[in-house]
Amino acid sequence: MNRCGHWQLVMMLTLLIAVPARADKRGQEIIEKLDRLQTAAADQYFVFDMTTYQEGKSPTTMTLEVYIKGTRLRRVKFLAPGDLKGTRMLVRALDQMYIYLPAYRRVRRIASHVRDQGFMGSAYSYDEMAIVTYADVFDCDLAAESDSHYQLKCRRRPGQSFHYEVMEMDIRKDNHHPDQLRFFNAKGQKLKTDYRNDYHCRDDGRTCTPYTMKLVDHSRGDLYTVMKLKDWKVNTGIKDSFFTVRALQRDR
Amino acid sequence: MMKAFSRWLTRRHNAWLVISVVVLVAGWSVLRATQVENDDDILAFLPQDNPDVETFRQVNRLFGSLDLALVGIESDDVYRPDFLRRLQEATRELKETRGINHVLTMSNVVDFAPDPRGGVVTTPLVYRIPANRREVAELRARVQSKEHVLGRLVSRDGRAVLLYCFLAYGSDPLTMAGRIRKVVREHFPGERKYWGGGPFVSTYIYESTRSDIHRLTPWAVAVVVLILLLAFRDIIGVGLVLLSTGVGILFSLAVMSVLGVRFNIVLGSMPVILFAVGSAYGIHILARYYALARRLPGPQAVRRTVTEAAPVVIAAGLTTAVGLLSFLAMDIAPLRSFGLFTSVGILATLLLAVTFIPAVLYVARLRRDQGGIGVLRAACRRLALTSRRHRAAWAAALALLALAGAAFTGRVRTSMDTTSFYSAGSPPARAEQFMRRHFGGSLFVQVYLQADLGQPAMLRLVQRLADRVSLLEQVSDVMQVSEAIAQANEAFVGQRRIPDTPQQVALLHSLLASDPAVEQLITRDRRRALLHFKLRPAAAEQVEQVLEKIEKLTREQVPAAVKLVTRSQAGEAGRRLWREQLRLRLSALAARRGLAPQAVAASLPALEEKIPPDRDEIERRLAHWLASAECAVDLGSLDRRLPATLARILASAGPPAGEDELRDLLRRQLGERADEELVEDLLLSLQQPLEQFWQEAQAGARARAFLARSGWQVAGPARARLERDISMALLENESPTLALPTAAGEAGAMPVVARVTGLPVMHRGLSASATSNQLRSLVFALVFVLLVMAWYFRSWRVGLLVSSPTMFTLLVIYGGMGLLGVRLDIGTAMLASLVLGAGVDYAVHLASAWQARPGQGLDDAAARAAAETGPAIWINAVCVAVGFLILTLGESRPLKNVGGLTAAAMLVAAAATFLLLPLLARRESYRNPEPEEDEPLPAGEANTAAGPARR
């Protein structure tokens, strides 16, 4: 068994013998702390490869460059594959997206209310791509606790349109970040599992991010997407004007 | 050899050895037989090496056409809020069902509309459930305006919806069909539901056949047993025969298990065939033994039984085995398995009949008083004598029947359609009717294309073919990649047309590529595409006619090679093609709306007129765009009136000239309010929309003129939509490149491959396969049956004589098929060899008993042979016929056809044996040389090997 295998075994055993905890405010405190940590940086820059694997088809890989500022503003640029290279997206709100199509040399504004479809055929839906903070979407209880992990069981808050009714999250105690999220529908059927591994931290450990993420869509024949981080920067001082249509069009 | 074997067998320890070996083999067979795995792959029944079928397989592999499950739901009004809510819930739940990759319904199909704030707003078509009548009416109007939704996801009359469930790769169709049914039934308990598409149809064929076999086989076996018991009134003897037959079946299954061969639905009928056909061998042995045991001591009776009866039984069994082995000549793997392993079962049963049964008889010393089957015996004798005594009349009657059979055989239809696989009233047939009623048809012909489909010119070639085929009256709908790309172009740019550059095609396709609905139209590498044409007719003959037309049009529209030319390079041929392309596009747009496409040709001159664009419209659109969020520069923040002012100036300035002129104009208009960077940003942002608005206004003006001249009576929003579509067609036709036919070897030539495929083509391949399989297996069986007969009777002529009743039977049965309109299909293609192998047994037994007493002539030979073998032959014929007839009580169409025809064939074969053999016989004896006897037998028993037990 390789090191990763050992680690997973230890993780599983730890979770199995975890002491069941009664639901209380602690769950909500834990998720709020996670939200604070995830939004601690003023801005972040990522470059990652996003590969989707589907049985019977060859894997497809996209390379994306992403800038995030605060909890709302995002700029995405496709670096690969060739057909999409140069395509840029600006997200200013959950349903406000601008896309620059290099082959047409123009920006199109798309106000989308289609949230549950896979982003570019990947396992990630627009909902999953967009969510930054969880406490405003879910009410969480601490379902179990071990020496290394909190296990939260979260229910979608009334009025929220996030696709999944229930979410379970295993949060590591060492960096207070999740290494597994499981999404369920109202009937308790597990729809997706999100694995987050290989955390790196910056800014004196205040901001951490997983270098490998894997999302498995169980309903679509276990189609899965792996996101491998290639570059990551924190607090680069990027301006708000970067997140405008003008900047998007000129790629500034 | 048989004598030596009979002596060996009638030693006590040898008999026990045989019994012990059989018990061990039976035990092993039971263990192994339970390990045989089921094979539910319906595609395995497609013939190999048939080009049509090979294309169908390839297309299915590439585009997953058979992985699409269709659910139809009928309701009084599908726009009712309650219905829509349930549809939304069912769609969501199906989407979350394991094994379903994607679900497309009226409720979740993505709709896009211009957003007042700029760009588009995309929502599921049913985004919010309408709360009142006005909202219901609005939704209805919106859906009615969506050509890609109407007639595909919702019926035009609003009384039916269709749910498309795309299965994930490798999902088991049987399991998925069950899961989809469960979800839909839960949400729509009161509505009529229809289950169509590959997973449901294959599940139905598989399940109905399996259920029929499971349900009917015990009854068929029970009836066979009952007939045998009634005929022989001997529980132990019949039990012994059935035991040996059962071991034969188990042995065959065990061999399959050892060889890793899976049990398919055709093999499911093997037990019935083996029980009906195979039990005859044991019965003949048993009957002969009982006859001999009345006068001889047990061991001697066993020896004589083995010596005299076994060779005839072996000869008869070998013909059946050969008939079944002829299936090896077929190109359908499961049928080859069926032939091989049923033949193994027959040979095992045969072996047990001549070894195990005599061994048990020797050890147990069974004895029975023979009863009488006097009436049957007398009837057989009379039948044979009638044929002898009225030879001319019978010869004429049989010749006439044979001639009529031959004549009607020519009318046997080989064209196959879905009715070859399921009956009217079955769930797939009801689903087809539903599709025809509400969605314009259920059957698709597809055109598979291999070409560089990343080129806009190639997409226009695809569009041209689609337009031409859509003009056929029998084609109700077309789905193809150009349409999907045009739709994406509309979403991202606002123009529903094929874009102008390969980069634009590549970008749009990349954004769409992962959509399962698009994956059914084009491969990710853009090298292969599939055009789907929905046909109105369903009957095989009409479908074949349309198919021929589509094939002809495909040959005409798709050359073997093309070269891409620009307008300046196109020449007269290119200009003609451009014009033809436009004519077809406009005709197709008209036909789709039920308008007369003939008006297009007469109205085309209107497009040549110079009509000025509507500048007010350009100004209005520009003003809206300049004030929208899509414009990179917030002009409103500089001056609230600036967007309107700038729009007026730009519209009045005429079509955009160069970049520099536009920059100067902007500088002048913005003046000091803007720095150079802002001007550049506005210029960059504005250029493309400005050009687009002018293009569209010019095309719109021409479209209006065309419409005015066409005389088409369209008004309101429908007219606006048609005008918009026509202007898009005009813009599309101004494309810079064209795919011009060229010689394959010419420089710059791009190869194009087009093949027509789909279920109707596969049915045609299956028909061809059924015919060739029939011929191949029949020739194989005929040659080998003749060889076996010639070897057994030591004469080719006698071999032919013995085979003649079966050949006559085949003529009658195929003539009957022609008369009754029963088609030749996979099932009925098995018939000839099966009948030939099993039916010739009767003549073998009759001929083997054929011997006149000295000086008594042929009548005496006929009467004696008929009396001695007749009852057994008829009992066997009735057993086989009843066994197979019971299969006709089921739902499975192939089983019904094979069951009914085999039953009829066995009865005809038995009758023909008693009529034809006495009619054609020229010798007083056809029996083999007399075996050396232990002691003389009573007169009348010496030469029969097949007579039933006399009680």
- Delineate the domains of chain A, giving CATH numbers in brackets: 20-250 (2.50.20.10)
Question: Of B733 and B419, which is predicted with more confidence?
Answer: B733
How far apart are alpha carbons A11 and B869 in whole angstroms? 80
CB B164 within 8 A of CB B109: no
Q: What is the pLDDT of residues B533-581, one digit of tens each?
A: 999 887 878 888 999 999 999 999 999 999 999 988 888 999 999 999 9
B-chain residues near A224 (CB < 8 A)? none
How far apart are alpha carbons B662 and B789 in whole angstroms? 97
Q: Which helix (H) or strand (E) holds B286?
A: helix B279-293
Q: Which residues pair with B114 in a beta bridge?
A: B120
Interface of A with B in 22-61 (CB under 8 A): 52, 54-57, 60
Q: What is the CATH code for B374-417+763-930+941-951?
A: 1.20.1640.10
Note the pLDDT of residue B582: 96
Collapsing DSSP to helix, strand or coil, B505 comes out as helix
How far apart are alpha carbons B128 and B85 in whole angstroms? 9
User: How many angstroms separate the CA of residue B160 from the nearest CA in chain A?
Assistant: 24
Cross-chain residue pair A113–B127, CB shorter than 8 Å: yes
Q: Can you read off the two tokens belonging to residue B9?
A: 């067998």
Angle at A16 between CA A12 and CA A21, to 5 degrees: 130
- The answer, yes or no, to whether residue A18 has pLDDT greater than 70, is no
pLDDT, mean of residues B38-64: 78
Note the pLDDT of residue B101: 84
Cross-chain residue pair B122–A113, CB shorter than 8 Å: yes
How far apart are alpha carbons B800 and B931 in whole angstroms? 24
Those residues with Cβ within 8 angstroms of residue B612's Cβ, 6 or more apart along the chain or in another chain: B701
- The answer, yes or no, to whether residue B855 has pLDDT greater than 90, is no
* Residue A99 at interface with chain B, using a CB cutoff of 8 Å: yes
- The answer, yes or no, to whether residue A220 has pLDDT greater than 80, is yes
Burial (Cβ within 10 Å: 0-12, 13-18, ≥19) of residue B177: buried
Q: Can you read off the two tokens belonging to residue A2?
A: 């390789």
Neighbours of B597 (CB within 10 A): 20
For A92, the closest chain B residue by CA position comes to: B629
Phi, psi of A115 (to 5 degrees): -105, -20
How far apart are alpha carbons B14 and B406 in whole angstroms? 53
Cross-chain residue pair B493–A108, CB shorter than 8 Å: yes
B610 — pLDDT class (breaks 50, 70, 90): confident
Collapsing DSSP to helix, strand or coil, A221 comes out as coil
How far apart are alpha carbons B691 and B613 in whole angstroms? 13
* Residue A70 at interface with chain B, using a CB cutoff of 8 Å: no
Question: Of A65 and B838, which is predicted with more confidence?
Answer: A65
How far apart are alpha carbons B600 and B733 in whole angstroms? 15
Cross-chain residue pair A111–B120, CB shorter than 8 Å: yes
Strands A223-234 and B68-74: unpaired
Those residues with Cβ within 8 angstroms of residue B894's Cβ, 6 or more apart along the chain or in another chain: B209, B420, B421, B825, B826, B827
- The answer, yes or no, to whether residue A113 has pLDDT greater than 60, is yes
A-chain residues near B99 (CB < 8 A)? 219, 221
For residue A79, give the amino acid letter.
L
Which position has the token pair 């789909």?
A: B758
Note the pLDDT of residue A24: 63
Question: What's the N-to-C CA distance of chain B in angstroms?
Answer: 31
Lowest mean pLDDT among A92-106, B367-381, B832-846: B367-381
- Taking alpha carbons only, the member of B629, B668, B630 closest to residue B646 is B668
Cross-chain residue pair B684–A105, CB shorter than 8 Å: yes
Collapsing DSSP to helix, strand or coil, B892 comes out as strand
Cross-chain residue pair B492–A104, CB shorter than 8 Å: yes
- Taking alpha carbons only, the member of B446, B266, B413 closest to residue B767 is B413
Q: What is the pLDDT of residues A134-147, one digit of tens each?
A: 999 999 999 999 99
Burial (Cβ within 10 Å: 0-12, 13-18, ≥19) of residue B327: buried
Note the pLDDT of residue B943: 39
Highest mean pLDDT among A16-20, A180-184, B427-431: A180-184
Strands lying side by side in the sheet with B160-167? B100-104, B160-167, B68-74, B192-197
For B506, the closest chain A residue by CA position comes to: A83
- The answer, yes or no, to whether residue B245 has pLDDT greater than 80, is yes
Note the pLDDT of residue B941: 40
Cross-chain residue pair A55–B168, CB shorter than 8 Å: yes
- E strands, B707-810, are 737-741, 750-751, 753-758
Q: Which residues pair with B308 in a beta bridge?
A: none
Note the pLDDT of residue A226: 97
A93 — pLDDT class (breaks 50, 70, 90): confident
Q: Which is it for the CA torsion B599, B603, B607, B613, positive or negative?
A: negative
Q: Can you read off the two tokens belonging to residue B434?
A: 């539903």
ipTM exceeding cut-off 0.90 for this assembly: no
Q: Which is it for the CA torsion B145, B149, B151, B154, positive or negative?
A: negative
Q: What is the pLDDT of residues A121-130, one digit of tens each?
A: 899 988 888 8
Note the pLDDT of residue B761: 87
B894 prior amide bond cis, ω within 30: no
Cross-chain residue pair A219–B98, CB shorter than 8 Å: yes
Note the pLDDT of residue B369: 56
Q: From the candidates A94, A108, A124, A242, which should be mutated to test the interface with B, based on the most B CB atoms within 10 A?
A: A108
CB A118 within 8 A of CB B514: yes
Note the pLDDT of residue B939: 40
- The answer, yes or no, to whether residue B946 has pLDDT greater than 50, is no
Highest mean pLDDT among B173-182, B274-283, B848-857, B937-946: B173-182
A-chain residues near B491 (CB < 8 A)? 110
Helix axes B356-364, B12-33, angle to 10 degrees: 130
Burial (Cβ within 10 Å: 0-12, 13-18, ≥19) of residue B769: buried
Strands lying side by side in the sheet with B737-741? B737-741, B561-566, B750-751
Longest distance between any two alpha carbons in chain B, whole Å: 135
B947 — pLDDT class (breaks 50, 70, 90): very low
Q: Which of A104, A120, A249 sits opposite B681 (nearest CB)?
A: A249
Dump the DSSP string for B596-646.
-TTHHHHHGGGGGS-----HHHHHHHHHHHHTSTTSSS-HHHH-TTHHHHH
Cross-chain residue pair A121–B510, CB shorter than 8 Å: no
Average pLDDT of chain B, as a whole number: 87
The residue ranges of every structural domain in chain B are: 51-205, 374-417+763-930+941-951, 427-538+559-595+716-751, 615-710
Cross-chain residue pair A111–B121, CB shorter than 8 Å: yes
User: How many angstroms separate the CA of residue B688 from the nearest CA in chain A?
Assistant: 7
For B621-631, letters b (16+ CB in 10 Å) and e give: bbbbbbbbbbb
- Interface A-B: count of C-beta contacts within 8 A: 136
CA B568 to chain CA mean position, Å: 49
Lowest mean pLDDT among A25-29, A183-187, B337-341, B368-372: B368-372
Which position has the token pair 């987050």?
A: A196
- Taking alpha carbons only, the member of B399, B467, B328 closest to residue B776 is B328
Note the pLDDT of residue A14: 43
Cross-chain residue pair A103–B687, CB shorter than 8 Å: no
For B97, the closest chain A residue by CA position comes to: A219
B21 — pLDDT class (breaks 50, 70, 90): very high
- The answer, yes or no, to whether residue B639 has pLDDT greater than 80, is yes
Cross-chain residue pair A114–B122, CB shorter than 8 Å: yes
Those residues with Cβ within 8 angstroms of residue B79's Cβ, 6 or more apart along the chain or in another chain: B130, B136, B139, B140, B143, B158
User: How many angstroms separate the CA of residue B905 from the nearest CA in chain A?
Assistant: 47
Dump the DSSP string for B88-153.
HHHHHHHHTSTTEEEEE-TTTSEEEEE-TTSSEEEEESS-S---SHHHHHHHHHHHHT-TTTBTTT
Q: What is the pLDDT of residues B268-321, one digit of tens each?
A: 778 777 887 888 888 888 878 887 887 788 788 889 888 888 888 898 888 888
How far apart are alpha carbons A179 and A193 in whole angstroms? 10
Strands A106-112 and B120-124: parallel
How far apart are alpha carbons A138 and B350 in whole angstroms? 74
Note the pLDDT of residue B371: 54
Q: Can you read off the two tokens belonging to residue B48?
A: 């190999």
Phi, psi of B926 (to 5 degrees): -115, 5
pLDDT, mean of residues A148-173: 94
DSSP B947: P
pLDDT, mean of residues B794-815: 90
A90 — pLDDT class (breaks 50, 70, 90): very high
User: How many angstroms separate the CA of residue A40 from the nearest CA in chain B?
Assistant: 30
Highest mean pLDDT among A95-109, A212-226, B418-432, B455-469: B455-469
Percent of chain B past pLDDT 90, that is, above it, reads 45
Neighbours of B68 (CB within 10 A): 21
CA B62 to chain CA mean position, Å: 18
B703 — pLDDT class (breaks 50, 70, 90): very high
Percent of chain B past pLDDT 70, that is, above it, reads 96
B727 — pLDDT class (breaks 50, 70, 90): very high
How far apart are alpha carbons B650 and B635 in whole angstroms? 15
* Residue A209 at interface with chain B, using a CB cutoff of 8 Å: no
Phi, psi of B825 (to 5 degrees): -135, -170
Average pLDDT of chain A, as a whole number: 87
- Taking alpha carbons only, the member of B852, B878, B867 closest to residue B914 is B867
